[in-house]
Chain A
Amino acid sequence: MAGNQEVTRVLFQDFSAGAVRAFYAVGYAAIAVFLYGVYAQVRKYRRGAPAGVPLNLLPRFGSMLRIVLNHRMIKRRDRQAGEAHRSIFYGFVLLFIGTATITLDYDIMGPLFGVHFWHGDFYLWFSLVLDVAGVLMIWGLLYMMIRRGWIRPPKLDYARPDRAPGDPDYDRSFYAFEDWAFLWTLLTIGVTGYVLEALRLVWLQGDAGVWRTRWWSPVGAALAEGMRQAGLSDTAAGVMRRDLWWFHGLLALVFIALIPFTKVKHIFTAMGSLMFRDLKAAQRLPKEPADAAYPGAQYITDFNWKQLLNLDACTKCGRCHEACPARAVGAPLSPRDVILSLREFANQTLGSADLPPQAQLDVHGKGPGQVAQETLWSCRTCMACVEVCPVAIEHVPIIVKMRRKLVEDGAMDPLLRKTLQTIHKTGNSFGESKRKRAAWTKTLGFPVKDARKEPVDVLWFVGDYASFDPRNQKVTAGFARLLQQAGVDYGILYEGESNAGNDVRRVGEEGLYEVLAEGNITTLSAAHFKRIVTTDPHSYNTIRNEYPDFGGQYEIEHYTTLLLRLMQEGRVPIARQLKSRVTFHDPCHLGRFNKGYDAPREILRLIGCELVEMGRCRANSFCCGAGGGRIWIPDPVGAEKPAQNRMREAARIDGLQVFVVSCPKDLTMFEDALKTSGLEGRFVVRELIELVREALQTEDTAVAQAEA
């Protein structure tokens, strides 16, 4: 555009040299404070244990950048917050790039190379983009304010279930103060930016170049019009501009300086957390280092730097708090509050120049920042928190790490303790003799191959509940019949099979887990098979994801994928369509852990069931409550159980006939909950295998059998 060559914004226009120097001094001071803050944070992280994470910086950085740019993790399950945050994010990033560009031109390129580029068309487009960026940012901020102040979703309430009202660290309302301060500060910086823009335009209305191109800063120009209409003179505007400039500048510099000390640091900590995340966080727990003095975490310094970084990444979005099944039924656990407590504790103890004496670093207990035993034992390790966290905080491994220490100290419910001893002694949680493990096969009427003695195509790892629990034994026998009918060459390990160890590991008894895993792997190594199938999602998870760390690498699938394949190949002849109205409960260890959502649904479709999803389905499925060893810990009297909560959710589906599960623990928990929540008779709970078997029978056979 002709004549725009010289258009630019003169920095520090009409400022005295002293004023400029003062500004730079404050600027450098702010940067120094910022750098010190960063140093203190890094010092804190370095006080943690080594993480043993393969750094792979470049691919990790790329992956993180993608997630941050497309915001998919923040948008998931909360579109409004996701969109608003994206606005703020892009607005802020653009404004930041803008400032950086100016610095580049004025402080670097100019003085060093005599090159200036921030003028002319570039300058004009620059101004337009930044104006839009400012609008984005302010719009996002306003939405967030409305959300916090007026909409007030429950997950933003900082009331914590793991402390009683009288406790010294019960009140977390100071976080709300910080949230509002952050919002208001950014808003103010943004708004004053526009006002400043407008004031400059009014002040320099005499400069033709500036005035002519003012609409390249549309918001500023509009405001400037308004100011002129209101009678603001150019000199008055000049004075106001100078004062507001200092206000805006100082506010921005203070903001920057305080980044490492406030919520604003999530800009970096979130990126760091995302960069170093473990994609298999809760599915594959870490081994204990062989040389540790004690297992798990006793002191804050036992957490590794990545976990300490996780603690700082939390922005208290409340999604984990909302998703947690323990919290939903009033247990004293909120994953958010565990993270916040540990964060406060870390800041308190690891934030200063000298490390406090070790006794003060104990994270267990009910003091400020500590985590209580009942909080840790409430966890179902269902991974809902890890899955939903937009900044990849790994709550479950942190909780299990603390449990490992509790187990070592014997600090657990007597029933849990007894169960662990029973599992050690008999290899199963029922205390039954090993010889009885395959007793269910006696009801079949045909022999089941012993995979230890003869080679088979498919090794069926049955699992504890499926082998010993009477109700589940029916399902197990049903699956055997399906396999038989489909002509699958399969076998089981008979007494050679022990509890796979998934839940033992999640309880924190790592030593016992090793014994179980190593034992099973030894047995599996001696057997001959091509692949493994299992009817137990817990066993599926640990064999698939964790056994490789112990030398056991197998191809394993959950029965739903095998069964679907058999059905698609026509080896399981469907005789009729069931036409039942059903809902499917995704088992945690199959669905959320291992993304096995589709096979069961396809099976239900093939047998003619009308599937109506519950609100909390697929990745957001609501745990039955049995995981993490909770099935071996008595529930508090009178409290609602997660399974009952789920039953009530299902009951809201009109005309629901069958609640379908595909996990033995789910079957046990939900059948029980159906009775105890008073919903018996409304619908039934069935395992998917049972429904498939029903579909194999013609109407007549089914009726005849029912009458028999």
Chain B
Amino acid sequence: MKEEIIVSGRMNPMVDPNLQIWHWQIPLYLFLGGMAAGILCIAAVYFIRGRENDYRTAVRLTPFLAPVLLVLGLLALFFDLRHKLYFWQLYTNIRLQSPMSWGAWTLMVITPVSFIWCALHMQDLFPNWDWKYKWLKALESFFNKYKKTLAWIMLIYGIILGIYTGILLSAFNARPLWNTSILGPLFLASGISAGAAATLLLSKNIEERRQFARIDLIMIGIELFLIVHMFMGFLASTQVQIDAVRMFLGGQYTASFWVFVIFLGLLIPALLEIMELKKYHIPAIIPAVMVLFGSLMLRFIIVYAGQMSRWLY
């Protein structure tokens, strides 16, 4: 028998006996950021491709969620900080190697952009909206003039933000479960899927809904592919990564991962969406909510399980 014990009562709270430094705030932040990224990317793409009028909800309405999600996400991040009064230090430093720094700066750019985007569409939401002050009106017309550039910025930073929510974790090679480059694309796909689900929820236009069900389906397909790919990668890797992925294949996260993420979050909504595309009547709200839930659970489970996985020595 091999016995390995920590002799002195090493009990650093949140670190021992296993890492628990991140609680609900970080996965929530990753989910909100990812969803916002998805929404903004979709809006930007359709705008750039000139399909604004076909997909009015996605381009003009759903983006109103983005600033709210981003601010909530930032708040969650803020709540996670233990030395809150020093928050501003994030913005006196640019650390290119730190995903956390990246994320902070990306948010710094994309949050105002999302606000501006909403401002440009205020009249869609409130037909009688009036900017009252002259300088505000001037600003509006300025941004309207460069709306395409704005959309490009939004797209690029949206993608960065979406990938970042995965990279943040995969940069930590100390946690075998996170140590895979698949997390970036996986979280991006999951974010776009969540963004699509948001439009699915809000849109009253049947054509638009069908289009977003299709997008969602594609994303779910990509996600499933990436997850399988990730598991195979882990299983073909070192012992610590095999141990890590075993948490999902018989270990303590098996039930929650397969039930909440795979079935309820991916397969069932996919099935429902296929049925809807085949013209069965399915209330759109059901698959959409399930996708959002699955996307949230994915973050929670990956963040928590990742903290349980560790190197052996």
**Is this pair of chains taken from one and the same complex?**
no
What residues of chain B have their CB less than 8 Å away from a CB belonging to chain A? none
